[in-house]
Amino acid sequence: MRVRIIDLVVSILASAGALLLSWPYWRDHQYWPESRLAWLAYFAIGLLLAAYVSYVFIGALRTLFEHDAIEHAEAAAAAAAAAGAATTGEDGP
């Protein structure tokens, strides 16, 4: 559960950083629409979607690294078994 909370916090911080970089204050209010409420809703929905996409991406990336670690462990075990069989003169399985 702790890993999921960390992933969620990282996702929210990354999305908040992206939101701050795209905020119209940096552009001298050149892109404000007619309705300020619509603009705020646009940013709020965008922030939620960005946090969700980042959270899913981090979860998928974590799964990929876990699978890679499993493959490396299996390859190391096979290499160790082959080296052990070679030193004792036995044929491997």
Q: Which pLDDT tens digit goes with each residue over 73-84?
A: 999 999 998 888
| From 17-26, 47-56, 72-81, the region with the lowest mean pLDDT | 17-26
Q: Which residues contact 58 (CB under 8 A, 6 or more apart)?
A: 7, 10, 11
Q: Is residue 54 over pLDDT 70?
A: yes
Whether 3 contacts 43, CB under 8 Å: no
2-11, 38-47, 51-60: least confidently modelled range: 38-47
pLDDT-derived band at 26 (thresholds 50, 70, 90) equals low
pTM: predicted TM-score of the whole model, two decimal places:
0.66
How do the domains of the chain map onto residue ranges?
2-87
